[in-house]
Each structure stands twice: as structure tokens, then as C-alpha cells.
């Protein structure tokens, strides 16, 4: 059996490559990278030395709840910027929250309709104004489905360094 090692890249399908590039480069500070010499519209970006984001323009549909999650260095600034842009989406997974491990989670629709989650390091100091915001809610998301299958724990985390 082969062992899966890590996420190498995430490919998001976009409606307008230029608009998507502006969002990911200007709003999130991602560094453009050269893509291979494909004959279709695409742009590569660098998350870090091991992970890339690929944007590519195609006719496609977007998942309502499926998402990528990106850790950011300053969730406070991002929250107020995304709120000002009006693109925080509380429909699929509820409002902005603080997860039990301490990380903030928020969901945004990119210009093409891709759902992108942002998270903060659990130790990152959160601007207290976020906790009072109308877009914030205490506690984990409750679906009402009452289907408890799956491997779960009170000690679950997005971060594995501890």
C-alpha cells in the first residue's frame, strides 16, 4: 500500500482567472509561481515551500459545503476585511467560531463561488471585537442531523504540533 504523505496542491476552478488572481494575490498575499506550459488558463501560487494553490478557469459547478482551509497569520485583519467585502458566508457551516482547540474558523466565498475556510493558530490573540460581532457565534456548528458516525474527540485539533 502506498502511503499518502501530504497535500501537494489544491486546484480551484474559477470563472474569471484574472479576478481570481487578484483575490488570492492581493487579499491573501500569495506569491505567483510559473505554471507549466498548459494550453488553458491557469495560475499557480505558493502557500509555502511544499504547497501550492492552482487556479484554473473552466465551466464547472462549485460545492456548497466542500472547502479548502487556509491558515493565515492575522485572522483579525482578515475577518474585518472579508466582512467589509461582504463575502463571509455563514450558510454552509454557520457563523464565525472559535473551535475547541482555540482556532478561529470563518468561511468566505471567493469571486468564483469556491468556499474557503480560514483559520488562525490556536495561540493567536483574537481581537475581542470579533466575539461581539453579529457574524460570530459561540460553540461548534450544530447541524441537527444527529448522525454521530465518525472518529471524533473533544481533543480534536486543526494543528498537530502539540
The minimum distance between CB 34 and Fe ion, in angstroms, equals 30
The minimum distance between CB 66 and Fe ion, in angstroms, equals 9
Question: For residues 69 and 87, which CB has a smaller minimum distance to Fe ion in the complex?
Answer: 69
Catalog residues that contact Fe ion under the rule CB under 5 A: 69, 117
Question: For residues 43 and 107, which CB has a smaller minimum distance to Fe ion in the complex?
Answer: 107
Burial of 62 (0-12, 13-18, 19+ CB in 10 A): middle
Cα 77 to Cα 58: distance, rounded to the nearest angstrom = 31
SS3 79: helix
The minimum distance between CB 117 and Fe ion, in angstroms, equals 5
Question: For residues 117 and 121, which CB has a smaller minimum distance to Fe ion in the complex?
Answer: 117
Amino acid at each position: 500500500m502506498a502511503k499518502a504523505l501530504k497535500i501537494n496542491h489544491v486546484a480551484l476552478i474559477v470563472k474569471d482567472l484574472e479576478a481570481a488572481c487578484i483575490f488570492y494575490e492581493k487579499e491573501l498575499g500569495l506569491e505567483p509561481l510559473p505554471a507549466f506550459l498548459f494550453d488553458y488558463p491557469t495560475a499557480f501560487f505558493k502557500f509555502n515551500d511544499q504547497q501550492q494553490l492552482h487556479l484554473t478557469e473552466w465551466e464547472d459547478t462549485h460545492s456548497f459545503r466542500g472547502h479548502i482551509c487556509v491558515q493565515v497569520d492575522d485572522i483579525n485583519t482578515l475577518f474585518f476585511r472579508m466582512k467589509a467585502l461582504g463575502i463571509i458566508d455563514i450558510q454552509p457551516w454557520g457563523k464565525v467560531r472559535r473551535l475547541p482547540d482555540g482556532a478561529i474558523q470563518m468561511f468566505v466565498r471567493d469571486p468564483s463561488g469556491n468556499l474557503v475556510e480560514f483559520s488562525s493558530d490556536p495561540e493567536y490573540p483574537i481581537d475581542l471585537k470579533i466575539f461581539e460581532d453579529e457574524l460570530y457565534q459561540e460553540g461548534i456548528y450544530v447541524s441537527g442531523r444527529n448522525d454521530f458516525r465518525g472518529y471524533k474527540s473533544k481533543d480534536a485539533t486543526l494543528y498537530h504540533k502539540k
